[in-house]
Amino acid sequence: MATDRAPDIYVPLLMTKGHGYPLWLPDPFSTLPPAYLRCGTQVGDLGYLTDDGGFAYLFNVCKDASDPINLNRVPPDFVPVMGIPDPGIQGRLEMHDKNSVITTAAVEQKSIGFAVSAGVPNVPVVLGAGCGFEFTSSSSQAAVLVLPDGGERYESEHPLLLQEYAISNAHSWYKYLNGPGQGRQIRNGMLYLVTGYDKCHSWGNTCYSHPSGSSSASLKFIATDVIVLTGTVHYSWEVQSGVHKRNHHRDMTPGATANQTIFLRGYSISVREDSSLLVKLGLKNPVETFKIDERKSKAPWFRSSVPYSAAPQSSTTPAATETGTSRTTQGDSAGMERGASLFNFDDLEIERSLYDEYSGSEVSESSEDESETDTSIINPSGLINHHILDIHPGATIALTHDDFEWTDMENDVRNPLNVMELVKYAIDNNLVSIDKSLTTPNAWVAKRRDTVIQRFSRQKDIFALVIGIDKYQCKEYTDLQGACSDADNFEAYLVESLRTPKANIISLRDGKATRSAIIDKLIRMKDNANIQQDMAAIIIYFAGYGATTNNPAGRSIDDTSDMKIEMLCMTDIGILDKSNKVVNGIPAKTINQLLLELSLVRGNNIETSIQTLILDCSYAAIPSDAQKRADAPPDANPRQIFDPPKLSWGCDQDIYSRRVIYPRDQDIYSILTDPFIYLRQDIHSFGGHSFGSSLLDSYVLLAACSRHQLAYESQGEGLFTRELLKVLKEWPINKLSYKSLTDRLDMPAYQTPLLEGGHMNRCLFDSGGRTTDSSRILCHREKDQPYFTLYAGSNCRIISGSTFEIYRTDLTDDWRPFTTATVETVEAFISFLKPADQTIFTIHENHHVWYARFVTSPAPGFTIYCNNSNFLAQILDEGVGPWLVDPPSSVSNPLLADLCLTVDGSDVFYDLGDRNTRSLCSRSMNFSPRFPHTSSVHAIAEIRIIIDSYAHFTSRIMMPSPLPMAKLVTVEMKKVRPSGPFIQGFQKVYKPYSENLLPDAADKFVELGPFSDMQALIYYGFTVHNTSDDRLYVSLLAFKLSNLEIAHLFSSTTYLEPHSTHTFCDGDIDGLSYMFVIPEGLDENVIFLKFFVADEPINFDNLSQQPPLAEGRPIVREAWHPSTFGKRWASMTIPIINRRYNLIVLIF
């Protein structure tokens, strides 16, 4: 059932926001010393966390006993901590902006009656009564904190001194506070030493947790009264029944300071009591048996453990111990009890029946619903302390510091209200580091792990060039309305959310964003000494017009090719410069070259800094009559110039002619034969005419739309940037990969973001090497849908009854699944999975993107034969690790095997099984079925990778076509040769000259050669004739049997008109060259070319598979999305075998 106590909701929900321990009751007790009331919480405060969501101050360890805030409050033998210089505190007075809001996910907010101050951009100011915020949420649980006057943050500069002081005094504090003189009954783990805090003048907080079926909520935080003379604003909440709410308005007394504490950071302190004292008290030996059980939302009976107390122990820490305690806060607590009694015998009886902590014996649980009687709050750091005492029997003191970095895990747990699960996740994922004290042998301390610090301290390694252009100087082009605003908002995200230093950001807007300025800034970034190779994350963001132009002005009249050149449009495009020449746009080729140089400017020239190019513009090569989609918003305008000036002759030739030192400084032949290089434009220039086509994958391209679409802006902002920032703000940066970021972008079908580049499997903006788990398949769950939709079906050998693990992210180090799910229905490209735990849909009803990893299948889909059955059993052992595809099964007959393993001494050989040979290859091809690679019998992991990769390889290549290819197109393969003059910096133009080389029967193959070694470079192109009445897009993949690579050769960026013909070869935007040589040690090489045609563009980047054993290149593959293929599509496979000694170049 849903909890109805505000602290049980508010504390765990807002703790995951990463600011520390949130206080439901931020105001100090009114009976505290006046000096304390004026300032509120301070560094060095010792107190305890109360069950009603507050902090009970005891004394300050940094102040003398005679200090007004310590007078008559300290232990008899009190000595303050020594060695902390004055002031010893760091403060950020504007940590939280005025009218800032901190909410859980799935809460949308809207300002009511606010205006923006002319003096302080982007900060709303109150105009009068009735102003405020409206919050709506469809989640079953939510928490909101509003800070009308902003907030301050303070941190101790010497937390280690406070840590050692707490260790030295932990036992004496509990003895004094819980002993006969005080009798405070402070539970183990609730004693708290403050090292940092966030404070404010005014606030409003609210929270709720509803049962399933009544999850929606609408909340308003409204100014009810504005006192003009003092500037005081009184607020109140307007909420539904069952929603907890509180608020506090600012004290306008002259000299009043911020004394309302909204977040605490510090050490939670736990002890294992002295055995000698326990014996005196008649208690048993202190044997800890604490185990973290994520299934229970409440901790076992150790919650009622009150160190050094012989009195009956209560499960609740008193809500207040100050006589006559009261709060000055307005609001209610929705029935929450205040001022709990010192002892609660009902709770004691229930909890003793659950667990006897000191005897270590478990007994049967009470049938009574614990949630109905237990009013104790659970401190997550206290649970970690008990974990420490459990795993280290010699430990008598445990401290956990709730650093704000490791608490930021809102999207990582199934139920944020389950504090046990929060703690278990932190421990299981190594988010905390547990180390022995350097000064006290029996003390252990848990803090944030260093690797976690690195994830959150990347801000100094982020460097950005942010460009926004609304105003274009050429009057032929209409000004945009939202590009500068988009750039401002993206820059604000870098500064405010990622804490990127402003000195690391270059900002160019409107008139400053000229062609020369942008190129100059990119060149100058190479000279920035602060950008460290292998560490820096370089981000280039552009919002403005894009364009596609044809051949540069001045090309030979004999050149009839139609080369498409993508480019960005600067503010001065189309006007005349000082030399009376038209200012060019910046072509993709120039951007590619500059980013390639930037990536290799320093370091060992092997590893590169990760670079991200974000483009909120379009450069679609589409007819002018298709400039706006009918389903786009009425006020939407495309960010594309459709009639840009042609590039001038020799544009940026000085940039292209510079020599670049590549990872391997090869000659031309070694570049062509490098097994890691597959795509190129020509051997003279590596930068392509399309964004994202750099040979060395020097950057990741994230564009607002695909190349056949338009990017729109509406209501003063780009559709893409608006959604991009929404996702970036909802998800922690270290939980997003480039791929999962695009998966979460909720964009209309007419504008689908484009993601390209060799580092798509990296964590976002992270050069540290964190990558995605390529075995995880994208799946969705829509609202009220009782199942997951998995984007893999029978095409991936999914069958009913298969089980999958379900994850929130696709990152490898996020290894803990939320639940498992079973396949109930399988279609061609999708499957439907029913989760084992349906509550996942209630708890995370607003989470739509998930990832699934295959676990088991009721029937084998991939078979293996081995001449050594015992060795094969070892390979197939489930305990070795998960399979990326379906787990293979063994067969005793090689005729029934997809793959055959031969163990010969210490070597393992691989051969095509007869089962696949019959399906993939014609018998008349006459080639050796043995793979060139040999493994050691001890390389179990390597053998499994090869098996996995081959299973993926065959499942993709044998995917059946829903339509005969002849229903849509005919394809011809011809030899091609250069035509016309060669122009430096541009691609060669090729024309077909031979007969069709493709066989007329489906079971035939193409044989090339044999040729003498290096006899000739042979070029091939493909002519596709659209015989249908549909516009079709053409794509081609190459399946290389020698190394199991699946290479995406090209996808057409423009459609093929009905009953038209096009030859794909170098010279236009769809012309890319693919090179291969026969691997060393082989006399022939088999490649399967697979053509796809569809009525919608096809994106095969998620299908490609790199050679499984290529050094430094992990297998990258994801599931296909069903919409990838459109409504009508077909495919055909062409087996090609070439005999040594020819080097073949295919032109598409």
**What's the pLDDT tens digit per position in 474-503?**
999 999 999 999 999 999 999 888 888 888
pLDDT band at 837 (very low <50, low <70, confident <90, very high): confident
Backbone angles phi, psi at 49, to 5 degrees: -80, 125
Query: Among 726, 756, 786, where does a domain finish?
Result: 756
User: Smallest Cα–Cα separation from 366: which of 316, 301, 295?
Assistant: 301
Residues 443 and 505 in one domain: no
Query: Which pLDDT score, from 0 to 100, does residue 1071 have?
Result: 47
Higher pLDDT, 988 or 120: 988
Give dist(CA 448, CA 267) in Å, integer.
12
Average pLDDT over residues 37-46: 94
Q: Are 147 and 133 in contact (CB under 8 A)?
A: no
Instruction: Print burial letters for 571-582: b (CB count within 10 Å at least 16), e (below 16).
Output: bbbbeeeeeeee
For residue 574 the two structure tokens come to: 């189309």
Query: Among 931, 957, 983, where does a domain finish?
Result: 957
User: Distance from first CA to last CA of the chain, Å, rounded?
Assistant: 62
Average pLDDT over residues 710-728: 94
Residues 881 and 827 in one domain: no
Domain at 543, CATH number: 3.40.50.1460
Residues 890 and 994 in one domain: no
Higher pLDDT, 303 or 1019: 1019
Tokens 């062609």 label which residue? 515
Average pLDDT over residues 964-993: 73
Positive/negative CA dihedral, 565, 569, 572, 573: positive
| Per-residue model confidence as pLDDT tens digits over 746-760 | 999 889 998 887 778
pLDDT beyond 50 at 561:
no
Positive/negative CA dihedral, 857, 862, 865, 871: negative
For residue 66 the two structure tokens come to: 């005679």
Please report whether residue 794 resides in a domain.
yes
Residues 12 and 80 in one domain: yes
Q: Which of 34-48, 137-151, 172-186, 851-865 has the lowest mean pLDDT?
A: 851-865
Host domain of residue 820: 776-856
Q: Which of 276-290, 331-345, 993-1007, 1134-1148 has the lowest mean pLDDT?
A: 331-345
User: Smallest Cα–Cα separation from 1035: which of 949, 1100, 977, 967?
Assistant: 1100
Domain at 850, CATH number: 2.40.10
> 831-835 and 788-790: which strand pairing?
antiparallel
Q: Are 570 and 505 in contact (CB under 8 A)?
A: no
Average pLDDT over residues 434-457: 69
Average pLDDT over residues 404-417: 60
Helix/strand/coil (H, E, C) string of 420-467? Answer: HHHHHHHHHCCCEEEEECCCCCCEEEEEECHHHHHHHCHHHHEEEEEE
Average pLDDT over residues 175-188: 90
User: Smallest Cα–Cα separation from 798: which of 847, 833, 746?
Assistant: 833
Give dist(CA 687, CA 670) in Å, integer.
18
Instruction: Print burial letters for 831-868: b (CB count within 10 Å at least 16), e (below 16).
Output: bbbebeeeebbbbbbbbbbbbbbbbebeebbbbbbbee
Higher pLDDT, 688 or 794: 794
| Per-residue model confidence as pLDDT tens digits over 1107-1122 | 877 544 444 444 444 4
User: Smallest Cα–Cα separation from 136: which of 196, 206, 185, 81?
Assistant: 206
Give dist(CA 200, CA 151) in Å, integer.
4
Give dist(CA 176, CA 1146) in Å, integer.
83
Mean residue pLDDT of the chain comes to 76
Number of domain units in the chain: 5
Residues 833 and 930 in one domain: no
Q: Are 616 and 486 in contact (CB under 8 A)?
A: yes
| SS3 (DSSP) at 1073 | strand
Task: Show the CA angle centred on residue 134, arms to residues 133 and 138, nearest 5°.
Answer: 140
| Per-residue model confidence as pLDDT tens digits over 659-705 | 554 443 333 333 333 332 233 333 333 345 666 554 446 688 999 99
Share of the chain above pLDDT 90, in %: 29
| SS3 (DSSP) at 209 | strand
Please report whether residue 767 resides in a domain.
no
Identify whether 817 is preceded by a cis peptide bond (ω within 30 of 0): no
pLDDT band at 529 (very low <50, low <70, confident <90, very high): confident
pLDDT band at 73 (very low <50, low <70, confident <90, very high): very high
Higher pLDDT, 618 or 1: 618
Average pLDDT over residues 1137-1141: 70
Please report whether residue 494 resides in a domain.
yes
pLDDT band at 1057 (very low <50, low <70, confident <90, very high): confident
Residues 6+ apart with CB under 8 A from 907: 934, 935, 936, 937
Residues 742 and 798 in one domain: no
pLDDT beyond 50 at 1142:
no
Residues 266 and 248 in one domain: yes
Residues 430 and 464 in one domain: no
Give dist(CA 136, CA 106) in Å, integer.
9
Query: Which pLDDT score, from 0 to 100, does residue 277 have?
Result: 45
Average pLDDT over residues 230-236: 73
Q: What one-character-per-residue DSSP string does 903-969 give?
A: EETTEEEEEE-HHHHHHHS-GGG----B-S--EETT-HHHHHHHHHHHHHHHHHHTPPPSS-GGGTE
Please report whether residue 497 resides in a domain.
yes
Q: Which of 80-89, 583-592, 1139-1148 has the lowest mean pLDDT?
A: 1139-1148
How is residue 266 annotated by DSSP?
A: E
pLDDT beyond 60 at 1031:
yes
Strand partners, 398: 270, 444
Please report whether residue 871 resides in a domain.
yes
> 151-156 and 217-227: which strand pairing?
unpaired
Residues 811 and 880 in one domain: no
- CA of residue 348 relative to chain centroid, distance: 44
| Per-residue model confidence as pLDDT tens digits over 365-399 | 233 333 334 456 678 888 899 889 988 888 999 99
Q: What one-character-per-residue DSSP string does 326-374 give?
A: ----EEE-TT---S--S--HHHHHHHHHHEETTTTEE-PPPSS-GGGT-
pLDDT band at 917 (very low <50, low <70, confident <90, very high): low
| SS3 (DSSP) at 889 | strand
Give dist(CA 917, CA 779) in Å, integer.
33
- Strand order of the β-sheet with 1033-1040 is 1006-1008, 1129-1139, 1084-1094, 1033-1040, 1045-1051
Residues 947 and 991 in one domain: no
Query: Which pLDDT score, from 0 to 100, does residue 924 have?
Result: 56
Query: Which pLDDT score, from 0 to 100, does residue 234 have?
Result: 81
Query: Which pLDDT score, from 0 to 100, does residue 63 have?
Result: 93
- CA of residue 783 relative to chain centroid, distance: 22
Backbone angles phi, psi at 726, to 5 degrees: -60, -45
Query: Which pLDDT score, from 0 to 100, does residue 844 have?
Result: 77
| Per-residue model confidence as pLDDT tens digits over 1079-1105 | 666 777 788 888 888 887 766 655 677
User: Smallest Cα–Cα separation from 17: which of 491, 405, 347?
Assistant: 405
Please report whether residue 1057 resides in a domain.
yes
Residues 443 and 489 in one domain: no
User: Smallest Cα–Cα separation from 668: which of 686, 694, 655, 688?
Assistant: 686
Give dist(CA 437, CA 446) in Å, integer.
10
Query: Which pLDDT score, from 0 to 100, does residue 543 have?
Result: 98
User: Smallest Cα–Cα separation from 516: which of 421, 651, 619?
Assistant: 651
Average pLDDT over residues 415-419: 73
Q: Are 55 and 293 in contact (CB under 8 A)?
A: no
CA R_g for the chain:
33
Q: Are 810 and 739 in contact (CB under 8 A)?
A: yes
pLDDT band at 981 (very low <50, low <70, confident <90, very high): low
Q: Are 1077 and 1119 in contact (CB under 8 A)?
A: no
For residue 674 the two structure tokens come to: 């490098």
Give dist(CA 294, CA 199) in Å, integer.
32
User: Smallest Cα–Cα separation from 749: which of 722, 718, 719?
Assistant: 719
Give dist(CA 761, CA 768) in Å, integer.
12
Query: Among 808, 836, 856, where does a domain finish?
Result: 856
Query: Which pLDDT score, from 0 to 100, does residue 339 have?
Result: 30
| Per-residue model confidence as pLDDT tens digits over 592-603 | 888 888 876 643
Q: Which of 18-22, 286-290, 379-383, 1072-1076 has the lowest mean pLDDT?
A: 286-290
Please report whether residue 899 resides in a domain.
yes
Query: Which pLDDT score, from 0 to 100, does residue 117 have?
Result: 43
> 89-96 and 100-103: which strand pairing?
unpaired
> 21-22 and 260-271: which strand pairing?
antiparallel
Give dist(CA 968, CA 1128) in Å, integer.
9
Average pLDDT over residues 1070-1085: 59
Residues 315 and 200 in one domain: yes
Please report whether residue 80 resides in a domain.
yes
- CA of residue 56 relative to chain centroid, distance: 38
